[in-house]
Amino acid sequence: MSEELELVTRDRVEKYLDITRRAREKATSLCEEGSEQAGHLTTMMRMADDYASDAAHFLSIGDHVRAFGAINYAHAWIDAGVKIGLLDGHGDDVLFTLP
Residue 90 belongs to a domain with what CATH number? 1.20.1270
Residue 98 pLDDT grade (very low, low, confident, very high; cuts 50, 70, 90):
confident
Residue 4 covered by a domain: no
pLDDT digits (tens, 9 = 90+) for 26-54: 999 999 999 999 999 999 999 999 999 99
- Write the CA distances from 74 to 3, 32, 33, 41, integer angstroms: 29, 23, 23, 14
Q: How many CA atoms lie within 13 A of 15 on its CB side?
A: 5
Residue 85 covered by a domain: yes
**Cβ neighbours of 6 (radius 10 Å):** 6
Residue 1 covered by a domain: no
Taking the C-alpha atoms of residue 69 and residue 77, their distance in angstroms, rounded to an integer, is 13
**Total structural domains within the chain:** 1
User: What is the reported pTM?
Assistant: 0.91
Residue 65 covered by a domain: yes
